[in-house]
Copies of this chain bind each other. A is one copy, B any other.
């Protein structure tokens, strides 16, 4: 649908040729990395400043035109689909690292800075930003989706590491939330409200982040188990022990088979496996590794192996991060979707077993990786996009995983968010009162309903 002409004129006046309405560019941000739906926006804006974002919001509000904020398009639940057309605000040109404060272990970045760009910038100062959702996502997008990843078990999720935000409201006001203090009790926690709001309340343009000193010592290790339940029992014992791993990742036998085929991983068998990493001083790291090794042995863990060199450690995590490609390698040419259950860890083995049984019942290949210290696991469900029946079964499995997550006392999404795909499941997770409160907040902060419409909060 072409952009309304007066809106087009206003946006062009602000942005010049950084407003695009050509079909190719408009299609690009439609997908994200999830299912291949495509609802392109009518135009894509490439602002360079918060003030330009504010001007876009003012113009869109005047025209009652939807706004869809866009980072790197690595979201998985159709977050960036322009369901009702409108203007996609691509924040990738807002990629300045505004300030790094080493003494305070914090920094301020524009929303388009990616986590890899930030870490590259920080490396010489002995600092790093730990959160690692796999994709080289933008930090604004990670805030907007409450992302986490492999080392959330130690460093938390975006809700824990964001100190403050700059947000453009749908009316074009620029507001600052939070600040530079490590903690504050000064009023409502607007920062946490915008984190995870998926662009439905405003556009995040700057993020104040906590940073961490690069650990003196980093040690990775793997340990294998005869059965998945034994791996999970080990994780429970590790978490209770306070051994405090920075990463504790589970790969099921099928995912290990895929990773061995894809990445080598010599010495490892296609068995349920934990990938671990420890951060700290050398004595602490050695002590943690010994604790985990002993606990794993109690539950039948075998082949506990430390990645003794930096190269070995890098290879290990490269293999873990290639799990997605490795899994797709199990069935070349097939497409995939990813589930995201997160449950209390005591229920994790049962939940995974139930989900794996559902995959078998539906005749689907669906290897599993898990941020198991958090009780979070993903199934990578493979399906033939040309086979409508198989896609329907893949979607049925995703629905079943959400059902099982709730049946096991958990949440339908640990870190990927709601977007457009999990709106129905939101009704199962939250009671009427909680959904009512979310709708009231949406109406209060986006009274025109122009911010990323059709996402996050299901209609009444």
Contact = CB atoms under 8 A, between A and B. Distances in A.
Most chain B CB atoms below 10 A, which of A126, A187, A456: A187
Interface stretch (A114-122, A302-310, A406-414): A406-414
Interface string A330-370: 00000000001011111000000000000000000000000
Nearest to A345: B104
A452 to B, nearest CB: 13
Interface string A198-217: 00010000000000110110
B433 A183 contact: no
A176 interface: yes
A226 to B, nearest CB: 21
Nearest to A77: B185
B175 A433 contact: yes
B185 A213 contact: no
Interface in A411-455: 411-418, 422, 426, 429-434, 436-438, 440-445
B189 A193 contact: yes
B188 A441 contact: yes
A281 B284 contact: yes
A105 to B, nearest CB: 6
A273 interface: no
Interface in A77-130: 101-106, 126
Interface residues of A, number: 99
Nearest to A215: B242
A146 interface: yes
A151 to B, nearest CB: 12
Contact of A287 (B182, B281, B340): B281
A179 B410 contact: yes
Contact of A445 (B182, B185, B286, B437): B437
A173 to B, nearest CB: 4
A168 to B, nearest CB: 9
A156 interface: yes
B189 A437 contact: no
A434 B242 contact: no
Interface string A263-282: 00000000000000001111
A183 B437 contact: no
Contacts of A187: 196, 418, 426, 429-430, 434, 438, 456-457
Interface stretch (A233-241, A252-260, A388-396): A233-241
Contacts of A193: 188-189, 192-193, 441
B414 A181 contact: yes
Given A183-B374, A242-B213, A279-B242, A189 B434 contact: no
A138 to B, nearest CB: 16
A72 interface: no
Nearest to A291: B281
A198 to B, nearest CB: 9
Contacts of A431: 175-176
Contact of A188 (B280, B375, B456): B456
Nearest to A341: B181
A183 B146 CA distance: 9
Contacts of A239: 105, 213
A10 interface: no
A297 interface: no
Given A146-B189, A159-B189, A281-B291, A216 B196 contact: no
A160 interface: yes
A438 B177 CA distance: 11
Contacts of A175: 431, 433-434, 436-437
A93 B410 CA distance: 29
A159 B187 CA distance: 13
B185 A417 contact: yes
Contacts of A287: 280-284
B101 A181 contact: no
A309 B437 CA distance: 51
A257 B3 CA distance: 71
A286 B287 CA distance: 12
A282 B284 CA distance: 9
A296 interface: no
14 contacts: A101-B344, A104-B344, A148-B183, A175-B436, A181-B410, A181-B414, A182-B344, A182-B375, A183-B376, A213-B240, A281-B287, A282-B287, A283-B284, A437-B445
